[in-house]
Each structure stands twice: as structure tokens, then as C-alpha cells.
Amino acid sequence: MNNFEIREDFYLNDEKIKIISGAVHYFRIVPEYWRDRLEKLKSLGCNCVETYIPWNFHEVRQGEFNFSGNRDFVKFIKIAEELGLFVILRPTPYICAEWEFGGLPAWLIKDDSMRVRSTYPGFLNAVDSYFKELFKHIAPLQITNGGPIIMMQVENEYGSFGNDKRYLNSIKDLMIKHGATVPLFTSDGAWKEALDAGTIKDILPTANFGSRSKEQITNLKRFMDDNNIQGPLMCMEFWIGWFTNWGGEFKRRDSKDAARELNTILEEGHVNIYMFHGGTSFGFYNGCSYHNGQDPQTTTYDYDAPLTEWGEPSDKYNEFKEVISKYTILPNVKLSTKIKFKNYGEFKLTNKVSLFNTLDTIASPIYNDITLNMEKLNQNFGYILYRSNIGSKRNIEKSKLVDCDDRAQVFINQKHVATQYKETMGEPIPLTLNKETNNIMDILVENLGRINYGASLVSPKQRKGIKGGVMLDIHFHSGWDHYCLDMENIDNVDFSLGYETKTPAFYEYKFNIKERADTFLHTHNFGKGCVFVNGFNIGRFWNIGPTNYLYIPSPLLNEGENKIVIFETEGKYHNSITLSDTPLYI
């Protein structure tokens, strides 16, 4: 059995070991490709893989745990072990990772008093219950029990959020209580304030950075010396690219520059490349930044990593391989997974139906006098449609959505009136009610993703939907039906119920293929929405870019008949779709 220790350096079986690790998120890759990505990591010269565990991916509903299928991180870790890779695991409640709510489950904030990442009993009790189940799967995989996990993290960049040592020690104690026996570490920005705030006694501090590596490593060493901490110097997140926000630029970093920084780190200590392979934030799991307003992140998590979103080596891969070869003997790894890309061409529209027409087949209305937010309705992701009869024919000079997040489309009698988002949210909306009686107001609100970093992590904006209410003239209107559209199952969409132009709608494209291959759905002919491939939600699209594609891994396709359903909210669509062997950017 191997033995891993932290002394003045890292030791494996009493011999020094240089850790060269790469971040690979199992939850952003289809399970059929886990081995391929890990083989390519090993081929780069890495001896270790690092991954987070997102709490909200495994306990979507409180008390209901799922560790199967694409959530089977045990299988992922065992594949790494088979390939001779060690594992750095980050199972803490908060992960950031540009992931929805930083990995925290949305049901936490159903509690109006909730304070995440604190000693608030409601939070720590929830973590305790989660860890009790989670560590049943983790404990046997630790190197102390003959497994490949050599280290685990206590919290994540907490020094960029708080300085509550009692909280940090509570998380550490809960990890140990439920079976953590390997060495623990923290990771924070490499400056004094962050390290002072985010570290705790007897736990190895590591640093996260992407440039000025000599300076950053020196800062970490100075902090450790000043606090009499003995241990190796490690960059736990060497940022070799960056994430992308909707409407922004697709981030690129010069490969040679990144390789020079990697070499500097390896001269001084140990590294985890973040990301080695970014992958895809499938479904509604993309997160959100906060830059003078909510700034949702894209479905692609390419990160300009050494492996592209779809797993192909980039120039950065080759540059890094050359650097790493100076520090270790590169293994000869035979890739075992055959992956090919295919241009399938165009497929014609099969069916279409307006959301309003199929609404009652996919959701049951929940009535309440006042508007309820998503969390109060036990809904985590997706959309809510609020509906009310607002009375007889008249003109209303102004109506107003009060405290609404994130993006709202207002309809009167199924005709679009306004869309509000960011700086326009809450502005007055004039309404014209043309029917003599029973004028129906519909408000479709989309949760674009919860904020995953910084002070806004605890913002009331994390609760989605209409939280204040809807004002007509100067009073709040009461009496609302709530349709929860989490899109977890779209089988009940009834395409026989009719279509109206310029309304949110579902579009179905059925087609047959003889061979499964990776492909890219081009989305430039559509406005905004999400896509389902044979029932699997592959993510969001938005014509503001910078990406106009969604990646479809071949395991999601069938030999024979396939069905792609596009839910689109802007009334913009096309009579055919294109599946290409190359992605499309603006």
C-alpha cells in the first residue's frame, strides 16, 4: 500500500514526488469519454488528476442523492487509478468552477435566513448530511485505504470570501468526522490578505494564479515562512486560459506564454493545470458572474485548455508537453477510445408547438395570491411562467416587475409586450388590454444561472423569479398561477396543439443516421433557449454569442432515429438545423 505525506515536500513511500496535475471535471464530460480525457492527461506527462465534486449535481433535491451514470465519480476515479494517476479531490460544499451557484444546491436558499459558507446551523447541518452520504463513496478511494486519492481540499478560495476560521475548522472537522484520512489543503489567491483569511492551522496552504508565477510563488513562500508553515510550494490552480460570458469575447491565451509560466512553477514546486480539459456545462449548470449586473457564463467551458471542449489537443498541449518532459519521463500512452467527427448536414423541421399551447401538458399550475420565487416552489433551474387574469379592456399606463431575476418576457393575450433584463429590469411597461374581459398576462422568467463567486454569492438575486410582485398602475396585482418549467422531462410536449408565431416554442427535428460521431449543432438561426438531444439537455444557446454552436458527443446519438428538440423563447427559428464537424463562432 502506498503512503503519501506532506513534510517540507510531498513524499510517496518516503521518496520525494513532484506533483504535475491537471484539472478534469467528470461532470462536464460524458462518461464514455472519461478514459479518453484521462489517457490524454497521462500522455501529457501528468501523474495526477484534480477534480471538484459539485454538491448540487449529486443532491439536486434535499435528501435525494445520485452517484450513478454521469454522476458516478467513483468510476471516474477508478479509471484514473487504472491509468496510474493519483487524484486530488475537492469535495467541499463550495467549488466556484464557473458552475451554477458555485456547486451549492439551490434548495438551501429556500430558507430565508440561510447564510452559505458560514457557521449558520442550517448550512452546517446540510453539509453534515451531505458529507455523511458523500464520504461513503470517497473514503475507500483514499490512498490510506489503498486508493488513488492523495489529498483533499478544505473549502475553496475562502480567503476571497470570508475570514471565519471557526467556519473553516468546522468544514475540516466534518470531513474528518465522515472519513477523511489523507492530507488536507486550502487554496487561495497568492496575496497576503487572501492567504491570511483563507488558511487554517496545520493545513497546507496552496495558491491559485495564472501569471507572474515567480512573484506569486515568492508571496506564498513568504507567507509560509512568516507563519512557520513547513511544506511544499504548489500552485493548485494554474490558470492557463479563462471562462467566457454570453455577449463577451471567447478568451484565448498565448500558448508559449502559458508554457513559460508553467516552467517557472515547476522550477519552484508543484502544479495543477486549471483547466487541462474544460468540457461542457450541460443542461442549466452554467454559472453566472457579477460585473455591474448579472453576467451569465456560456455552455462551453473550453477555457482555452490544452484539450479543447471536444477533447482534441491544442497548440497549448504540445507546448506544455515539451515543458513537462524536462521534469519527468513522458509515458507512451495508447489511446483506447475511437472518436471521430462528422458533418451530418441539414435536417428538416418535423414539428413545432407554442409553449402557451402545450403548457398544461408539461406543468401543473400552482396558485398563490402573490408571486412566489423559484426556490419557494421547490424548483432549482429553468423557467417559471407566471399567469394571471388582469381584468377588462383598458390601457394601463405603467406596470412593473418588482425584484425579478433574471430575464423576463411579458405577454398580454400571448402577444409579446416587453423583455427585461439587467439594467431594464423593473422599468415601467405600458399595457394595452384589447379584450372586453379576461385579459391574460403571462410572464416567462428565465433563471440564467446563479452567481458563483464573490460578495454577490449571498445576494438576494440568487433567488430566481418574481420575488416582489407585479404592479399594475400603483398597486400590486394578486392571484397568480405558477408553471414550473424545469425542463427535466420534455416527453409531454404535445406537438399537435398548434403554433403561433413570435412566441416561445418547441421545435422538433427527427432524423436517422447510420454512424454515431461527435458533431456540432449550429444555433445562429435561433434566438435564445436550450436544446435536447434524445431527451438530454446539452445546454443553452444565445445569439449574442460569442459561440453559436452546441457540442454533441456521439454517445448522446443513436444509430437509427434521433430527435433534437429546441426550446426557443424569442420566436426565432429555422426550418432546418445543421450538424457540422466544426463549431461556429460569431
Positions marked catalytic:
157, 237
By the 10 Å C-beta count (0-12 exposed, 13-18 middle, 19+ buried), 242 is classed as middle
Q: What is the rounded distance in angstroms from the CA atom of residue 123 to the CA atom of residue 111?
A: 10
Strands 288-290 and 465-472, sheet pairing: unpaired
Which DSSP category does 104 fall into? Answer: -
The residues with which 394 forms a beta bridge, in sequence order, are 433
Q: Is 45 helix (H, G, I), strand (E, B) or coil?
A: coil
CB 217 within 8 A of CB 190: yes
Opening angle at CA 502, ends 565 and 494, nearest 5: 40
Grid coordinates of 227: 507563519
State the amino acid at position 103 in one-letter form.
G
CA end-to-end distance (rounded Å), the chain = 53
- Decide if 533 contacts 371 (C-beta within 8 A): no
Q: How far apart are CA 313 and CA 323, in angstroms?
A: 15
Contact residues for 30 (Cβ-Cβ < 8 A; gap 6+): 70, 553, 555, 556
Rounded to whole angstroms, how far apart are CA atoms 539 and 566? Answer: 10
| Euclidean distance between CA atoms 403 and 467, whole angstroms | 5
Q: Sheet holding 4-6: strands in order across? A: 4-6, 10-12, 15-16
Of the candidates 435, 434, 439, the one whose C-alpha atom is nearest the C-alpha of residue 389 is 439
Backbone angles phi, psi at 468, to 5 degrees: -90, -50
Q: Residue 47 gets which letter from DSSP?
A: S
Which residue is listed with cell 405577454? Answer: 411
- Which cell goes with 518? 461527435
Burial class (CB in 10 A: 0-12, 13-18, 19+), 20: buried
